[in-house]
């Protein structure tokens, strides 16, 4: 498969696997050259990257830890050097706490780790990318930033409160950037996945099999990474040009209040 019309590139953090990989694949299909970001070396995910090679989709892999300032700067440099212009940023990389511990016993180390990767890193990567977009693009051209938050931006889990707080902070960050960047035609949106089948949910897979069976989600199935990627694709498309600062729940209806 070949791309008809190449656009500015799309940077997707945490795209070596899971939701980020599905987003990278979909945006490649949508004709964006792709910048894949993960901490692991490229050869660790070479099987996942085969899709881009087989379909002749342009991509680069920039091994980076987004919590490091110099890595964030390098991501922008590499993207510009290779593809000339950034059109899309998807802040997807995120982590759960290493251990689920009750709020009253949460450690400062765990709080710092989760806040750093899930909130501080997208905050400052967005700052860098937005500055570059403002510099490079014509005001009539749309650019898009999508933040992958979570149903945990609103729902409470006392045994991973640092995750909930980081995602609630990222939801506020989305709205703030939407307001700040609207005048430059850089539109900022948020997707809120519910429970999605990836490595992140592997350890709680049995628990959710049971809860889904019992009706936790009105749509009775696991979410897939592709469910999330499809909505990111919509936000980036020309079909969404007079909306900013919105979010979509991708959670099988979990957010609907029930009695």
CB of 134 to ligand NAP, least distance (A): 24
Query: Considering the rule CB under 6 A, would residue 66 count as an interface residue with ligand NAP?
Result: yes
What is the separation, in whole angstroms, between the first and last Cα of the chain? 49
Residue 3 or 42 having the CB closest to ligand NAP: 42
How many other C-beta atoms can be found within 10 angstroms of the C-beta atom of residue 156?
9
Q: In whole angstroms, what is the distance from residue 38 CA to residue 95 CA? A: 12
Q: Which SS3 state, helix, strand or coil, does residue 143 take? A: strand
Nearest to 175 by CA among 147, 196, 210: 147
CB of 67 to ligand NAP, least distance (A): 5
Query: Considering the rule CB under 6 A, would residue 97 count as an interface residue with ligand NAP?
Result: no
Binding residue for ligand NAP (CB under 6 A) from 9, 11, 37, 90? 37
Structure tokens at 43: 């050869």
Backbone angles phi, psi at 249, to 5 degrees: -80, 130
Q: In whole angstroms, what is the distance from residue 21 CA to residue 40 CA? A: 14
Q: In whole angstroms, what is the distance from residue 148 CA to residue 91 CA? A: 6
Query: Considering the rule CB under 6 A, would residue 252 count as an interface residue with ligand NAP?
Result: no
Binding residue for ligand NAP (CB under 6 A) from 130, 148, 165, 188? 148
Residue 106 or 151 having the CB closest to ligand NAP: 151
Site for ligand NAP in 101-140 (CB under 6 A): 117
Q: Give the range of 63-71, 135-143, 178-186, 211-219 binding ligand NAP by CB under 6 A.
A: 63-71
Residue 184 or 208 having the CB closest to ligand NAP: 208
178-191: b (≥16 Cβ within 10 Å) or e = beebeeebbbbbbb
Q: Give the range of 12-20, 48-56, 79-87, 241-249 binding ligand NAP by CB under 6 A.
A: 12-20
CB of 56 to ligand NAP, least distance (A): 23
- Binding residues for ligand NAP, rule: CB under 6 A, are 13-20, 37-40, 64-67, 92-95, 117, 148, 150, 193, 195-196, 198-201
């Amino acid at each position: 498969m070949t791309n008809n019309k190449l656009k500015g590139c799309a940077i997707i953090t945490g795209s070596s696997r899971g939701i980020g990989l599905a987003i990278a694949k979909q945006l490649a299909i949508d004709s964006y050259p792709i910048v894949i970001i993960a901490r692991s070396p490229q050869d660790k995910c070479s099987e996942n990257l085969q899709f881009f090679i087989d379909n002749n989709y342009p991509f680069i892999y920039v091994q980076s830890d987004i919590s490091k300032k110099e890595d964030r700067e390098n991501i922008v440099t590499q993207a510009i050097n290779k593809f000339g212009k950034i059109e899309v940023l998807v802040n997807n990389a995120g982590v759960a706490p290493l251990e689920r511990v009750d709020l009253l016993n949460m450690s400062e180390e765990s709080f710092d780790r989760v806040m750093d990767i899930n909130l501080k890193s997208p905050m400052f990567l967005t700052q860098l990318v937005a500055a570059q977009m403002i510099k490079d693009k014509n005001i009539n051209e749309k650019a898009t930033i999508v933040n992958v938050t979570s149903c945990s931006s609103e729902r409470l889990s006392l045994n991973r409160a640092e995750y909930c707080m980081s995602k609630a902070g990222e939801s506020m960050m989305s709205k703030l950037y939407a307001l700040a960047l609207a005048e430059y035609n850089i539109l900022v949106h948020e997707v809120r996945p519910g429970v999605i089948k990836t490595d992140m949910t592997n350890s709680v897979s049995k628990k959710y099999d049971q809860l889904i069976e019992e009706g936790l989600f009105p749509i009775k199935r696991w979410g897939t990474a592709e469910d999330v990627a499809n909505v990111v694709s919509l936000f980036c498309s020309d079909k969404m040009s007079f909306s900013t600062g919105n979010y979509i729940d991708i959670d099988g209806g979990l957010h609907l209040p029930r009695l």
